[in-house]
Amino acid sequence: MSCANHDHECLGWAATDPSGIVSPYKFNRRAVGSDDVSITITHCGICYADVVWTRNKHGDSKYPVVPGHEIVGVVKSVGSGVSRFKVGDHVGVGTYVNSCRDCHFCNQGLENNCQKGSVYTFNHVDADATITKGGYSSFIVVHQRYCFKIPDNYPLASAAPLLCAGITVYAPMVRHKMNQQPGKSFGVIGLGGLGHMAVKFGKAFGLNVTVFSTSISKKEEALTLLGADKFVLSSDQEQMKGLANSFDFIIDTASGDHPFDPYMALLKTYGVFVLVGFPSEIKLSPVNLNLGDKTLCGSTVGGTREIQEMLDFCAAKGIQPNIEVIPIQYANEALERLIKEMSNIGL
């Protein structure tokens, strides 16, 4: 897609009602400020968040909604105060495009936890009171702080999913020092966009990786395509019981409601269970948490420092998500496919 008649007019794809159907929509982007980067978008990943807000599942959609927060492209212009980027650079934009820049977390490069609330890339109120519009569009203007350099040797299309799915699993894995403990045992629950990246990072960190899924059809992908060390059908109670107290880390990417006790029982003493999915509730026996001094924690995406670190790590190690590239004209079909896939991952 290319921009229309003048510098600020942008062509996007927007949902205008809770049907969630996206269609062509013209709107204006802001002028490039002194600290801004204007990016010609080449690719945008599709995330379940796109479904949530185009279909008003949280009741707070601000139509028209232009979704997309896994954005990659090429810098087409920069403001006078921009020194980190130049025209022609390959760059990415993730799930947020603003924050207060002055709180405890922003000062540590953890803008995702901004105390005043980070501004999401689409369907959110920005500092100038406008509603943010995402990457299903021809270009975007972003403050340089929330823009990331994609190494030249890394394919742009492959970088897009890293900016949400990738960082969502990378950040907690590094936070809990999984990248510094090769040989430790690591379980991944669910094998979708997040889960398959957790497997790739786990292998790159030297962990012994086991994939848990309720779908036996995921076994071939887990073992052959992704190189996991083991596949476990989580509905097999005997197999699950045989793995009791054997995992140092588990990351749970499933968003559907599922039991937690069978997985907590798999953790070793001092084991860590990280939840990155969004089931409607968490129910577990305190015995499975307290005995063995186990840790249960949540996580979303990472800060700007972690995102750049992850992009550089993926380029250095040749880690790429498994992707399928489609034209924007097929976005509605892709969103429907995503809904079906999520129901499979939901356990």
Residue 56 has pLDDT above 80, yes or no: yes
With H, G, I as helix, E, B as strand and everything else as coil, classify residue 307. helix
Residue 345 has pLDDT above 60, yes or no: no
Q: What is the mean pLDDT of residues 19-31?
A: 97
Domain contains 261: yes
* CATH code of residue 267: 3.40.50.720
Token readout for 159 is: 């970088």
pLDDT of residue 220: 94
Token readout for 216 is: 């036996």
Domain contains 2: no
CA angle 272, 321, 73 (to 5 degrees): 120
pLDDT of residue 23: 97
Domain contains 1: no
Give the global pTM.
0.93
Structure confidence by residue, pLDDT tens digits, 180-234: 999 999 999 999 899 999 999 999 999 999 999 988 999 999 999 999 999 999 9
Q: Which positions ≥6 away from 236 have C-beta within 8 Å?
A: none
% of the chain exceeding 70 in pLDDT: 97
Domain contains 34: yes
Same-domain check for residues 197 and 322 = no
Same-domain check for residues 309 and 280 = no
**DSSP letters of 199-249?**
HHHHHHTT-EEEEEES-GGGHHIIIIIS--SEEEETT-HHHHHTTTT-EEE
Structural domain of residue 54, as residue ranges? 9-164+302-344
Residue 344: pLDDT band with limits 50, 70, 90: low
Q: Which residue type sits at 122? A: F
Cα distances (angstroms) measured from residue 114 to each of 104, 120, 171, 328: 8, 12, 16, 32
Same-domain check for residues 182 and 311 = no
The domain boundary residue, chosen from 261, 278, 298: 298
Token readout for 243 is: 């793995």
Total structural domains in the chain?
A: 2
Domain contains 3: no
* CATH code of residue 326: 3.90.180.10
